[in-house]
Chains A and B, each alone.
Chain A
Amino acid sequence: MLIKRGIAVSPGVAIGPAMVFGTENFRIPQQLIATNVIEIELSRFRAALDATCDEITVNEQLARERLGDQYAAIFSAHLLLARDQQLVAQIEERIRQQNSPEFAASQILRQYAKRLRDLGGQYLAERSVDIYDLEKRLLRHLLGERREELSNLTAPVLVLANNLTPSETANLDRKFVLGFATEVGGHTSHTAILAGALEIPAVVGIGKFLDDVSGAQTIIIDGSHGVVIIEPDDDTLAKYRDSEARFRSHEQRLKSLREFPCETSDRVAIKLMGNIEFPNEAEPSREKGACGIGLYRTEFLYLESNREPTEDDHYRAYCQVLKAFPGEPVVIRTLDLGSDKMPGALRAAYPESVNPALSVRSIRLSLQHLELFKTQLRAALRAAVLGDLRIMFPLISTLLEFRQAKMVLSDVVEDLEEQGVEFRRDVAVGMMVEVPAAAIMAEEFAREVDFFSLGTNDLIQYTLAVDRADQAVSGLYRSGDPSIVRLIRMVVEAAQRNNISVSVCGQMSSDPMFIPLLVGLGIRQFSVTPHAIPELKEVIRNLTIERAVGIAERASSLEVARDVENYLWGELKKLCPESMQLD
């Protein structure tokens, strides 16, 4: 029995056989193809090869512009390899012999790489690395960046991986994936957020552990405590089977809350809305009791494929969400990607930044690429005809930035008007408050924006200067830090004075412990991971405003994060003793 600890990101217990998912090893879906598809497979191979060469050419140009000819030469050599007639002929020959392009390319390239390495010498060793790189690029184009295994499951498994991309996570088949655990990742990684939404027990950020597991070994994933147990002994297994059952009955009890309104016990309504990434999460959110979408992250439109989403792609996605919530708010957050995760077409234009969190991202990216930005805004304004769509700009740091973004929006309004396209003009426009500068200037912002949404994930990261995904410092990331409490209070008070709404949409609001504090600070609207709604509702229904204010007062007087969190934890236990028995 081996126990590994990581970060608990999605509660519940899962017990079952492991499926280990390699990192760089693309699984080749099939080795052989039928004779009648040889021509099709050949053209698929050529297309992938062309795409690979295009990619290398772009890199070459970039290297030339930014670094000089010397560096560009590296890529011109790569191109020479990719276009090698002998190589292409050999791979095509294999495909004609009914090998799949993936299998043929991989086999042949690996043979060459191995041969060069065996010849010895550093120069050839480096070239063999180039060839492996070429293999990876080619396979990525052939497989469309999709890893086949996960979509073709036939029996229940626990997925163990170095990392899962958000798309992979979103597409996990809940029927067969009982839980997952990854080596990297943090609380606020998109993968973690999605795991919660899918209600699959998950633990991330475990550190290196895949070498200790082999496929089909029995694994326990305890997503409530961030524990993964490999080959548990009988006692442990029995204990977990018991807690698995108790977790289920707890879920049942929470489900029964669905019928009751979300209000404090002294009848003050608190709005719980959902955070979503994909349009098809809208309906499940509503089932969980969400009264609107407080944060629709639109990044997946950009990340799911390598091409830029069209206006219609956006429009269709937004309409789907609006239809799930007729008459209720749906807040569209405009593109929130950075140099670490650029949308396809822009990836080449920005070399990896040393410090992506402080570089070109979110609204800064949109303001540098107005066409990209306008496409999204056009779609949003058109979709707004269907319901209460609102637009929210992320990562606003200065008033000027907000004004610029609004100016672009009015350009789009003018364009739509001129073109006689049906749209809605009186759309509410708000901003994320997630940069400390914006929180500090909340009073000035509140005069110009229609609403605030506190993005606590980034607000904490920027205020405390901690990247939560970085294991070396993740312990310093504390939602309960007094500086955070104070910033939130400033923002809420500015919003109240200017009569605009303010909600909290970061992970902090999905943690029941912080609900009494936030309500006490004056928050009446939350946007949370949908699966957390029933649990938060229970906390809210057990709370009075008076008590919440008292809790906020007391918490505000404490000087260190640990004391704040311990205090809030204690208060939560008093409020919801039943739920706490689970731990």
Chain B
Amino acid sequence: MRPLELIARTAQSFRSQVFVTRGTNRVDAKSLLHLLTLGAEPGMELDIDATGDDANEAVEQLVKLIGSEFEGIGPA
């Protein structure tokens, strides 16, 4: 699975609202379509934030996921 799909699916597994920001562009991490509009590429810096009862966990998981550089997955 492509990295962005993995991000969206991971985000969707939490109740919290989760956002990914690149520069001034902040989008819903649960929306693959919105994630695509970030135009993110390997090596770029992304910010992640979340609000909700499992917000901490959500951010932690996503940071881990992105930090692992999507091991075992093909290029973006």
Contacts and interface: CB of A to CB of B under 8 A. Distances in A.
Interface in B18-35: 28, 30-34
9 contacts: A73-B1, A77-B1, A80-B8, A84-B32, A84-B34, A85-B28, A86-B28, A120-B39, A121-B39
8 interchain residue pairs of minimum CB distance: A86-B31, A119-B39, A84-B33, A80-B32, A84-B31, A87-B33, A86-B28, A77-B5
B9 interface: yes
A116 B1 contact: no
A80 B5 CA distance: 8
Interface string B1-21: 110010011000000000000
Interface of A: 73, 76-77, 80-81, 84-87, 112, 115-116, 119-121, 123-124, 127, 131
Interface of B: 1-2, 5, 8-9, 28, 30-34, 36-37, 39, 41, 76
B31 A85 contact: yes
Contacts, number: 44
Contacts of A121: 39, 41
A80 B9 contact: yes
B76 A81 contact: no
Given A73-B1, A77-B2, A80-B9, A119 B33 contact: no
B36 A116 contact: yes
Nearest to A123: B76
B39 A86 contact: no
Contacts of A119: 37, 39
Given A77-B5, A80-B8, A80-B9, A86 B33 contact: yes
A454 to B, nearest CB: 55
A81 B39 contact: no
Contact of A87 (B1, B31, B41): B31
B61 to A, nearest CB: 18
A95 to B, nearest CB: 18
A76 B1 contact: yes
A116 B37 contact: yes
A201 to B, nearest CB: 48
Contact of A112 (B2, B5, B33): B33
Contacts of B30: 85-86
A76 B5 CA distance: 9
A414 B74 CA distance: 59
Contacts of A116: 36-37
A112 B31 CA distance: 12
A124 B1 contact: no
Nearest to B37: A115
A471 B39 CA distance: 44
Contacts of A120: 39
Nearest to A77: B5
Contacts of A87: 31, 33
Contacts of B34: 84, 86
A76 B37 CA distance: 19
Contacts of B31: 84-87
